[in-house]
Structure 1
């Protein structure tokens, strides 16, 4: 077992609630093996698994619960509506609370199906009630662990398929791609496991370990191997116990952490800058104060997405200068969304609605001309030229002459993104 980083635990000794560990990722076999090692180390540990194969067809899900001694529950549940959110609200959270209350001295592990993003579960845990009491009264989320299979990781992150192409969609209108969901699972995790079947790491394992570190530089990273079939029972038990001690009860989950592509406006790094290839892996940060010319950025999208595995962050467009635009790119595609208004475009009396971290960050980096508006993007990939990406993005910025024209003129520029980020809040 190789550990690449080991931050300290933040668990309060007085917190006696059962701890919930979420295992996520696009590697069901590796995830199952990781859960098996945990229950081998602690037979009282309850592992909860959801099968969503019949969710869209019949509106049913299969929930199984196991401990180290075998099957505890196996139920098929019919939902009011066949979707992921209903699964979480109507069955998953009530089941977790019931199990936590039935075994208050024991912990739980939840194995998420590939299409269920951990952020949806942790968010629901934070605000949902079961039997009139908050979910968090019964349990606490201890850690979100992304389990990655070296045999499929690169193909998954580079896939141009949608979830529907693999019959993994969570609803009839689910248009998420395989690559974006897989990347989000890794980026949201506080612990990332590269599940290596061999104890001796080769070049490919090292390359993938570097890639995962670049994708999620704020997580703890582990490279793990299974006990060998030839191991004695004592040695296998020791390996399982060692694995369990590094995964469970770490207290690494932070419910207040910003979403990965929104980290920049809260004052956190959106990624790391490692422009020199390490095993071929390149990471590049790009920052600018001026806005992008919308038409030039639109023309650059295929090159930006096609030359990198993953991009995330936020930006602003000259044609819509009040809007914070979220950026995600993966699998050759780009997703851009509305993150609300810049503080510079927000009435003073509404500033208190923003987090203290965001207000402090804005004050520290306030620009006399643009306020808190800025561009922060992070890109990760294999054998791309960071300088070329930066030059391409620089060419998308307003020129000196265009910047001098001012916002009134900018709003008249041809804008392929016009109408894409108009929220109700700004139109009221």
Structure 2
């Protein structure tokens, strides 16, 4: 029938929930995204598709279209006070969803994102945005986040080293995101991936892309489309709409390991697409880690996870690699650095994960790094990472000595509040 999916055991949303279901559709290939949206509209005559053209956003100009299977309903150009993605979400995208939910009762909504907009930004904004004093999530239900991947273009975009600005896709003058960064974020935040191919797509290439997507987002359901040249629109709609797959409690990609959730899957086949997970309690030496970052990621397509460096033992560092650049940022305090009464500032899942793996000396401090790539040298990368950790002698010097280690990251990861942490250290 032209559509297939791997087995699922999803829990369907309650039949008592009468909020319109919103399917968020993203992807970096406009043609494949448009074709998927059109197929879903054909399958459901009461479905409304909302799309925003960001071509003029840097000048504060936004074009919004709303259409059904039978034709356009709205085609409006507006001016924004601030031309940026976050402003667009708050000032137009989310208010439009609420308005359509009220004016078209009984219709579900399909939010089709422009290539440069990441679905996690929509999820974050929807959790905090109100329209006319009412939370957005009281009016609509975000049912599923679906990412469309063009099998013939995906790997090229993933290995690209250019930025969005190189393709004139940047949303603002200070938008320096890499193409590969946006591509992996779209896939990783999804709960469903539509793998779009063509009758002449090479079967081995298609298999490789499917494996790569599974390495990037093992939690997502894959739906393969159009390999026969004929598309079953109803079958596609059944597999991606009203599935209830979106979990609003799931943290962003870089917070998964803190809650004890998996960030990598073990290699179970002979594919050249491989992934590895490096875990350790021992902290990194800041200078050695800094000097080795390029070599660590040399053969990886994607890196993600959390780590800690000895010179800044209170700080959880997020590690991210895509598009040729490594990004380190702060995820806040380790629980071991906080007074017990402040643990409630974090999620229940994170507290449970910390309790289950608590170390008498390190507390919840731990490194969990996933690397995904083609023909990764697991042994070599593991040895390189181990060489960046504190030696036994350096470890024996203890917490009081570590802040004096040479640290090229000094001042790069400020925490938002100051606390006295001495009493919480070993």
- TM-score bracket relative to the smaller structure: over 0.9
Secondary structure of the residue aligned to 1:306 is: coil
Q: 2:368 aligns with which of 373, 376, 382?
A: 376
Secondary structure of the residue aligned to 2:307 is: strand
The reply to whether residue 307 of structure 1 matches residue 299 of structure 2 is yes
Gaps of 5+ in 1: none
**Other-structure match for 2:101:** 100
Taking the aligned partners of 1:9 and 1:2, their CA distance within structure 2 comes to: 19
Taking the aligned partners of 1:200 and 1:413, their CA distance within structure 2 comes to: 53
Taking the aligned partners of 1:350 and 1:427, their CA distance within structure 2 comes to: 11
Gaps of 5+ in 2: 421-426
TM-score w.r.t. length of structure 1: 0.95
Taking the aligned partners of 1:53 and 1:358, their CA distance within structure 2 comes to: 40
**Other-structure match for 1:88:** 89
Taking the aligned partners of 2:215 and 2:144, their CA distance within structure 1 comes to: 20
**Other-structure match for 1:279:** 271
The reply to whether residue 387 of structure 1 matches residue 379 of structure 2 is yes
Taking the aligned partners of 2:403 and 2:78, their CA distance within structure 1 comes to: 52
**Other-structure match for 1:53:** 55
Residues 172-321 of structure 1: pairs in structure 2 closer than 5 A: 172-198=173-199, 202-225=203-226, 228=229, 239-274=232-267, 278-321=270-313
Taking the aligned partners of 1:7 and 1:199, their CA distance within structure 2 comes to: 32
CA 1:337–1:5: 2 relative to 1, 3 Å: farther
Secondary structure of the residue aligned to 1:87 is: helix
Contact 1:51 1:61 in 2 (8 A): yes
The reply to whether residue 411 of structure 1 matches residue 403 of structure 2 is yes
**Other-structure match for 1:126:** 127
**Other-structure match for 1:112:** 113
Taking the aligned partners of 2:293 and 2:206, their CA distance within structure 1 comes to: 31
Taking the aligned partners of 2:141 and 2:160, their CA distance within structure 1 comes to: 34
CA 1:200–1:425: 2 relative to 1, 3 Å: same
How far is the alpha carbon of 1:391 from its aligned partner?
1.1
Secondary structure of the residue aligned to 2:308 is: strand
**Other-structure match for 1:354:** 346
Taking the aligned partners of 1:273 and 1:330, their CA distance within structure 2 comes to: 20
How far is the alpha carbon of 1:201 from its aligned partner?
6.4
Contact 1:24 1:31 in 2 (8 A): yes
**Other-structure match for 2:333:** 341
How far is the alpha carbon of 1:408 from its aligned partner?
1.7
**Other-structure match for 1:73:** 74
CA 1:100–1:164: 2 relative to 1, 3 Å: same
CA 1:200–1:283: 2 relative to 1, 3 Å: same
How far is the alpha carbon of 1:9 from its aligned partner?
3.0
CA 1:5–1:297: 2 relative to 1, 3 Å: farther
Deviates more, 1:207-216 or 1:123-132: 123-132
Q: How many residues align?
A: 418
Secondary structure of the residue aligned to 2:297 is: helix
The reply to whether residue 16 of structure 1 matches residue 18 of structure 2 is yes
Taking the aligned partners of 2:27 and 2:273, their CA distance within structure 1 comes to: 21
Contact 1:305 1:331 in 2 (8 A): no
Secondary structure of the residue aligned to 1:420 is: coil
Residues 322-333 of structure 1: pairs in structure 2 closer than 5 A: 322-333=314-325
- Per-residue CA deviations over 1:294-339 (Å, capped at 9, x if unaligned) read 1111111111222100011000001101000001101221011100
